[in-house]
A and B are shown apart, each in its own frame.
Chain A
Amino acid sequence: MTTDGPPSAQEHPLLHMFRRKNVLSGLMFIAIAAFGLWVSRNYPIGTTLRMGTGYVPRLLCWLLMGLGAIVLVQGVLETEPPRPPRERSPDDDELAKLRPVVAVTVSLIAFALALETLGLVLSILVLVAIARFATRELKASETLAAAVGLSVLTWAIFIAGLGLPIPLWPDW
């Protein structure tokens, strides 16, 4: 089965186990199921013949938890093929990988919050200004060019072309 990244020599075996994809997947399914069970804790369950609001959700959550447990056990038990040791590449740097995750997510949320008050053009600036931090490779001048270019392109397609009712500028 697959594992994520090579084990480094000094890593504790237990810690290493948490790098396996199946272990993490199993934990994810169990966590989602537990969250679902907690949210639906007050939904009436009813009986099999007259199902209440909570019957199907709780049934599915328990099912998901069971499946998650199977995936988890599979992950713990899996035997790993020996791998040749290799240099740590930048691809293994988990912290660096958080950068695009945060930048992309925050840029979308900021765009959403800005759109109906600031209008399309300023929201595009906001999105580009935040999303550019997802990569280190965009030069400042390129970011600006992209923001202007995308503003014109979106205006042409969505406002002029399709006539969508999105405000272009703030409504003051």
Chain B
Amino acid sequence: MVRTSTAQRWFIVFNYIFLIVLGLSMILPILHVLAQSFSSNAAINSGKVYLWPVDLTLTNYKAVIGEKLIWRSFGVSVIVTVVGTFINLAMTSSLAYPLSRSEYVYRKPVLIMVLLTLIFTAPLIPNYLLVRGLGLHDTLWSLMIPGAISAFNLFVMRSFFMGLPNELIDASRIDGCGEMRILWNIILPLSKPVMATLGIFYSVGHWNSYANALYFINDRMLYPLQVRLREFIITDSSSINVPAEDALMSSPEGIKMAVVIIATIPIMIVYPFLQKYFTKGMMVGSVKS
């Protein structure tokens, strides 16, 4: 029998209300922005838009969709995210796998070398000069290569590989498999969960980041979506050409919010799928750290 005192019952009620309000504070701003992006200029400026579009209009989206530079940035972001994540996973797993095997006699020195980079990090400028020196600046490689391996993710993947049963590797070796065959046919198919988890972290990172593009890219044609969006937010969206017949309905605010929504849609589409994986991934990480 669990006794609940009055004070405890009050606490439970308060707790539910508090957490629901907190949850709403995370959803409502996004709904508000969504509503604004579909509202007319007049409605936004008179402050009538709360959570539902007022004077429903698609002009903001029409203006954004008609803007070539936004599509170009969208494409850049897609390329960087897809290719970048592929590079991340290939580089991370090709180092994590040897480090998980006792046959790799230089495990210790390599691990120490990687650990030290977590403690000692170089300032921005030497990194920038390196990227310049390698001729990567003003290319999309500068957004994919310098962050190819995250040391933390490397450790997560290594501990996953170490958790795979050794008997599996031994058995396939008896069957005459070479090391590469073992990795390709046995290990990788078993590693889907960790690949999915880290792939998600890497790709969300690529999609969302804008600092690297700000540091390394001057060519406006190579701007990823986040940098383009930042320009709209920090300066203003007057650079977008609004068709004359829509000029009354669309507004700088509405257009900004339409770009915000477009930049968020890919994340929102994958979020339900990735939720399944990231909690698992965090567990592996927390066990390690």
Chains A and B form a bound pair? no
| Residues in A lying within 8 Å of B, measured CB to CB | none
